[in-house]
Structure formats: C-alpha cells, structure tokens
Amino acid sequence: MSNVTRRDAIRAVGLGLTAAIAAGTAKVGVGADAAANLANPAMVEGAEAWKYAVVDPKQVADDAYENYSVGRCMHTTFKAIVENVADALAEKDPLAAQQMKSFPFHMMRYGGSGANGFGSLCGAVNAAMAAIGLFVSDGDTRKALCNEIGWFYERTLLPIYKPEDARDEQDYPQTIANSLLCHISSGKWAGVAQVKTNSPERTERCSRLSADLAQKVAELLNQNLAALNSADVAPVVSLKRAQPTATCVSCHDKSGTNADMIGTSACSECHPDYDVEHSAR
Ligand code: HEC
Ligand code: HEC
C-alpha cells in the first residue's frame, strides 16, 4: 500500500472501499492522485471539483422548498442541489453518489438569516455560490457563474417559485432586492407584503426564494456542462458588471484609480446620492 496513506485508508472505510483500494494498488500500483480519487470517488480526476451530472431544475427547486424548515435557506438550497446531482449519478457512479450524500450538510445551517442572524449575505446566495465552487474548478467559469447568481438575485423580482398548491396564485408579493444582503432583501419584501419579519409569511417567502436560487444554480450548472460537451452551447461568460455600477467600480474598486473600497454590488442601494458625474464636480 505504498501510495495509499493510512489516513486515506481510514477515510475509505466508511465507504467500504478499503478492499477496492488494496486490490487496485496490488494490481496496477495506482499513483497518489488516483488513490486520492479512490478515497473520494466524488472528485473529478485531476481537478479540484466534484463530478456533476444534469439535474432537473424544477425538482431541485421543489426539494429546496419542501425541506426549508430542516435547516433554512443556506442548508436547503445547498442540499437540494448536491442531492439531486447524487441522484443523477447514482446508477452510473454509485460510489460518487454515496460520497455526495454523505456531505456534512449540517455545516450549512450557519447561513440562516444572513450568516448566523447577522443579516449579511443571503443564505440562499451563499449556498448557490458554495455549490458552484464545489462543482466548478476553473476560476473564470466559477466567477462567471457566481456573477450570474449575484445579479439574478439583485435584479430579479423574487420570489418566482410557486409551490404545487399555489401554482395558480395571483399577486404574490415580489421585490427587487438590489442587494445580496438578507437585511435589505427580506426587509424590502416584508415592507411590500406588509408583514413582520417574524411572520410565517416571511418564512414562506424565504422558502420560495431558496427554491429560486437552487433552480438557478441547477440551470447554470446544466448549461455549463452542456457547453463543455458541445460547441453549439454558449458557455456562461458574464464577467462584467451592469451599469452604472460598472463605471463606479472602474474608479473605486481595487483595480480602479481611487481604489478606496472593495465590492461590486449595486452602489445605488447605499449611495443613492452619488451618480457617475460626481468625480467631475
Ligand atoms: C471617474 C472616477 C469615478 C467614478 C466613475 C465614480 N467615482 Fe465616486 N468618487 C470619485 C472621486 C475622485 C471621489 C472623491 C474622492 C475623495 O474625495 O477622496 C469620489 C467619491 C465618492 C464617494 C465618497 C467617498 C468618501 O470618501 O466619502 C462615494 C460614496 C462614491 N464616490 C460613490 C460612487 C458611486 C456610487 C459611483 C457610481 C454611480 C461613483 N462613485 C463613480 C471618482 C469616481
Ligand atoms: C450595503 C451598503 C453599501 C453598498 C452596496 C456600497 N456601499 Fe460604499 N459604503 C457603505 C458604507 C456604510 C460606507 C462607509 C461610510 C462612512 O464611512 O461613513 C461606504 C463607503 C464607501 C466609500 C468611501 C470609502 C472610504 O472610507 O474612503 C466609497 C468610495 C464607496 N463606499 C463606494 C461604493 C461604490 C462604488 C459602491 C458600488 C460598487 C458601494 N460603495 C456600495 C455602504 C455601501
């Protein structure tokens, strides 16, 4: 077992893989990378990513919505995506599927109410970006996909998702957050819906929002996989910020002439009095 460390072997026990590793090593003398992949069959060989398989975005949304109460926004969004990928892989690659299902999902519980109640980054967004990070190793692709998530959340009238028993529902309150912050996003919605933030209506809204984000990630990762496999499908490439924020960022962010702040989220939310002309005044 020269190439398989004791720790790898111990880790593999839970997967019933010790025999497989021992057999593989004896037969072909697998290298360190291959041994690591045997210990974690969910990994793509030679890349820092988990395997991905096409999922049904609607199913992912339904699962995220249904299981919201288990661990709230971040937990349900992340788990719905990973478990659906595991299900999609189950037949072809049962060891990978098993590894995915044993992900320590409980860690994602911290994300509720904007990271442990801080009202900071929305947990559904946090989960969506974490899932992208899990399945996509190429840096530019990861950033483009995460940008799509961030801008979708900031600029779309949400929530869109309607549960089975409410699919013909009219006039459900929707808001454009113009921010990735739980504080701003949930507050705006509660204001428009005229409910308290501790109401069951606000919880329902965040269940639907989690479904929206879970579905969006599934669509993006499906598209990304399709683009990798076919020249006919366009890759996700949006690396540029929308206006006017792109112009603000060109002066103020790290690479700008001012370089006096960090961030690319919609400036107008917190600096409504600054337009792009102020530097010339
Ligand atoms: C052409 C470069 C440029 C662009 C574009 C630009 N700014 Fe500025 N901004 C400046 C300069 C220069 C100052 C003054 C800095 C100072 O006084 O130290 C400033 C000041 C500010 C300040 C006050 C900073 C402070 O120290 O109090 C804010 C906030 C700000 N800009 C936001 C924005 C927003 C929002 C946008 C886009 C709508 C934007 N800026 C676009 C150059 C720019
Ligand atoms: C969630 C709210 C929020 C958003 C979004 C936001 N800012 Fe700010 N920004 C602040 C706060 C709060 C401060 C600190 C103000 C203070 O020090 O009085 C600040 C400070 C700044 C400063 C001054 C930095 C300094 O201390 O010299 C600049 C410049 C600035 N923001 C530009 C931007 C630009 C450009 C964007 C969009 C890309 C942006 N901000 C987005 C809240 C925000």
Residue 240 counted as domain residue: no
Range of the domain at 257: 245-280
Q: What is the pLDDT of residue 88?
A: 98
Give residue 252 CA to ligand 1 midpoint distance, Å. 7
Number of domains composing the chain: 3
Task: Tell me, yes or no, whether 138 and 195 share the same domain.
Answer: yes
Residue 36 neighbours by CB distance under 10 Å: 17
> Residues 108, 214: contact at Cβ < 8 Å?
no
The reply to whether the predicted model has a pTM over 0.85 is yes
* Per-residue burial over 149-188, b = 16 or more CB atoms within 10 Å of its CB, e = otherwise: bbbbbbeeebbebeeeeeeeeeeeeebebbbbbbbbbbbb
d(CA 226, CA 218): 12
Residue 259 counted as domain residue: yes
Task: Tell me, yes or no, whether 151 and 177 share the same domain.
Answer: yes
Task: Give me the mean pLDDT over the 88-116 stretch.
Answer: 98
Residue 72 counted as domain residue: yes
Task: Give me the mean pLDDT over the 158-181 stretch.
Answer: 94
Task: Tell me, yes or no, whether 98 and 209 share the same domain.
Answer: yes
Task: Tell me, yes or no, whether 268 and 145 share the same domain.
Answer: no
Residue 151 counted as domain residue: yes
Mutate to test the pocket of ligand 2, among 271, 274, 277, 279 (most ligand atoms within 8 A of CB): 271
> Residues 29, 86: contact at Cβ < 8 Å?
no
Counting from 1 in the atom list of ligand 2, the atom nearest the Cα of 258 is 29
pLDDT one-digit tens code per residue, 229-253: 888 887 777 666 777 888 999 999 9
Residue 48 counted as domain residue: no
Q: What is the pLDDT of residue 20?
A: 41
Indicate if the pLDDT at residue 38 is higher than 80: no
Closest residue by Cα to atom 41, ligand 1, is 248
User: Which ligand is nearest to the Cα of residue 251, counting in written order?
Assistant: 1
For residue 211, the one-letter residue type is A
Residue 49 counted as domain residue: no
Q: Is 267 in the pocket of ligand 1 (CB under 6 A)?
A: yes
d(CA 51, CA 134): 9
| Per-residue pLDDT band at 34 (split at 50, 70, 90) | low
Residue 199 counted as domain residue: yes
